[in-house]
Amino acid sequence: MKEMEERDVDAMFVSKDVKTFEFDQELPSLPVPSLQHTLDRYLDSVRPHVTDEEYRQTEFLAQQFASGVGKELQNQLLSRAANRKNWLERWWLDYAYLDFRLPLCPPLNFVGPGPYCTHYLSARPGSQIENAGLLVHLSLNFWHIIRQERLKPDLDSKGRHMTMDQFRRLFSTCRIPAPQRDHLNAYFKTESEGPTPFHIVVQCRGRIFVIKAVDDKEEPLTPLELQDQFQKIRDQCDNQPEGLGIGALTGENRTTWAQVRSHLMAIHPDNFRHLEMVQSSIMCVILDDTSPQDETEMCQLALAGDSSNRWFDKSLTYVVFKNGLAASNCDHTPMDAMCLVVCTYYVDLQVIKCKGKWQGTKEIRKMEAPKELVFTVDNVVHRAISNAKLTYNQIANNLQVKINHFTKYGKTFLRKLKLHPDTHVQMMLQYAYYKRHGKPAPTYQTGTTRRFYNARTETVRSCTPEAIEFAKAMMDPKLTVSPEAVTPTNYKDIWKYIFSVFVKL
């Protein structure tokens, strides 16, 4: 912890001479694999799940495809790639995300507890407002770094530049429901591109408020200033009945939400303006009334908590609980989790550096009071909110979350054996699933494609015949291995040894 406290956090994240998005336009186009390569990978992924006879039939069908319609489809794909720097980008966004018709949360959104909850910002009664002020301030600092294009561009393990495009959509981005296919509204702009939203939205007990999050110089408000604003909201909500809870509509089926949203905007022009304020906000901050006792409960509540106090369509939401613990809830559509991981790592290092306490000025400048967004609704909207809660709760109440920390060994031990931690996890998944169900698990490992223009991820099929043979060997009591048998080149023995240690633990 001391070593991390002494790090120059800004030096790790902030560039002095290179702009964040400077190299994006120079990145190579996403390549199109050959048809044979694609079919070979497909057959590899099928092999562990079928019998020998089924595999031979699949091989035959693949050969027919390769010599028939596959050629024409491959030519069409090459033609598309010739006119686009990323032939997959639009398809990936539309078919993987925007066409999704079920409620976004829990199925699609990703959540996670902040690592700061394990040290300086652990659970403490009465710390909700204090912790919210510090976390939001530090996150706004990260927003400011991107706004000024000072975030260091990422490099891969070989020193090649990676696309930073997704960081444009970490803040001030919202998914907008539509009857058949949703769309994204991205409001964020860098300083060189022009004006950008400067407000955040705060939700508390079913009510929604707007706060200007920066001063006249575009510098984020201090933690104490944010705390002052949050406290005003908290006091108002604690002394009044619960609000409408209109955010629950974002937990409804997407087509239904789109229809209700259109009706809501038709009722009164202020409703459109209120929606726009929520959608364009830098982030949502939830002042939650629950107090989770551990990480399991924290994740459960962040992913499947009270939908009337959420806006699941937003790219970034912080849920700050009554006891000061905090977690995130993010729509997966505009970005992958690594964007938030980078932001969270920055925030966590800053929390460690200041030991969880604001070290700057104590002055609280005079600011405009938080403005509540009061929607004009009718019976149709009231019924829709009630129905949306039922729809959401049917899924949320069926969710089980369990977080365990395994501390017997970690990546240091695995690296000594020249093994990647992700590989280790994939093998554990196969072994555990095979042991329980007696068949292979259809697992995958995310692989980044960010060294190509505007690319995101691809799927690595980690269920292989070798993985299944390993799982079977692990279950064979006749097979044993001792540490003396392990050599750097004997990977089968290494795996047997690692898992023999794991099982005993």
- Predicted pLDDT at 488: 45
In sequence order, what are the residues at sequence separation of 6 or more whose Cβ sits closer than 8 angstroms to the Cβ of residue 432? Answer: none
- Predicted pLDDT at 2: 47
In sequence order, what are the residues at sequence separation of 6 or more whose Cβ sits closer than 8 angstroms to the Cβ of residue 267? Answer: 376, 377, 378, 381
CATH number at residue 479: 3.30.559.10
Indicate whether 147 and 219 sit together in one domain: yes
Rg (C-alpha) for the chain, rounded Å, is: 25
Each residue of 361-383: b (16+ CB within 10 Å) or e?
Answer: eeeeeeeeebebbebebeeebee
Spatial separation of the C-alpha atoms in residues 255 and 271, rounded to whole Å: 19
- Predicted pLDDT at 139: 98
The DSSP secondary structure of 68-118, one letter per residue, reads THHHHHHHHHHHHHHT-S-SSHHHHHIIIIIT--S-STTTT-EEEE-GGGG
- Is 403 a domain residue? no
pTM of the model: 0.92
- Is 12 a domain residue? no
CATH number at residue 128: 3.30.559.70
In sequence order, what are the residues at sequence separation of 6 or more whose Cβ sits closer than 8 angstroms to the Cβ of residue 319? Answer: 286, 288, 301, 302, 305, 310, 326, 327, 328, 329
- Is 425 a domain residue? yes
Indicate whether 369 and 416 sit together in one domain: no
Instruction: Please give the chain's pLDDT, 505 residues, in tens.
Output: 545 454 588 899 999 999 999 999 999 999 999 999 999 999 999 999 999 999 999 999 999 999 999 999 999 999 999 999 999 999 999 999 999 999 999 999 999 999 999 999 999 999 999 999 999 999 999 999 999 999 999 999 899 999 999 999 999 999 999 999 999 999 999 999 999 999 999 999 999 999 999 999 999 999 999 999 999 999 999 999 999 999 999 999 999 999 999 999 999 999 999 999 999 999 999 999 999 999 999 999 999 999 999 999 999 999 999 999 999 999 999 999 999 999 999 999 999 999 999 999 999 999 999 999 999 999 999 999 999 999 999 999 999 999 988 888 888 988 888 888 888 899 999 999 999 999 999 998 889 999 999 999 998 999 998 889 888 888 888 877 655 554 444 545 555 555 554 444 4
Indicate whether 349 and 200 sit together in one domain: yes
Spatial separation of the C-alpha atoms in residues 88 and 455, rounded to whole Å: 8
- Is 404 a domain residue? no
The amino acid sitting at 284 is C
- Predicted pLDDT at 419: 83
Number of domains forming the structure of the chain:
3
Spatial separation of the C-alpha atoms in residues 50 and 68, rounded to whole Å: 24
How far is C-alpha 254 from the chain's CA centre?
19
Residues 315 and 169: beta-carbon distance below 8 Å? yes
Indicate whether 238 and 345 sit together in one domain: yes
Residues 14 and 149: beta-carbon distance below 8 Å? no
Indicate whether 53 and 147 sit together in one domain: no
3 state SS of 40: helix
Indicate whether 235 and 288 sit together in one domain: yes
| SS3 assignment for 407-463 | CCCCHHHHHHCCCCHHHHHHHHHHHHHHHHHCCCCCCCEEEECCCCCCCCEEEECCC
- Is 163 a domain residue? no
- Is 331 a domain residue? yes
Residues with catalytic function: 332
Spatial separation of the C-alpha atoms in residues 326 and 435, rounded to whole Å: 36
Indicate whether 457 and 388 sit together in one domain: no
Structural domain boundaries, residue 231: 114-155+169-396
Indicate whether 254 and 334 sit together in one domain: yes
Indicate whether 421 and 498 sit together in one domain: yes
Kindly tell me the sign of the dihedral angle through the C-alpha atoms of 278, 282, 287, 292: positive
Indicate whether 246 and 342 sit together in one domain: yes
Angle at 326 between CA 141 and CA 143, to 5 degrees: 15
Indicate whether 257 and 352 sit together in one domain: yes
Where does a domain end: 363, 396, 429?
A: 396
H/E stretch holding 175 reads strand 173-176
- Is 384 a domain residue? yes
Indicate whether 259 and 358 sit together in one domain: yes
- Is 292 a domain residue? yes
- Predicted pLDDT at 122: 96
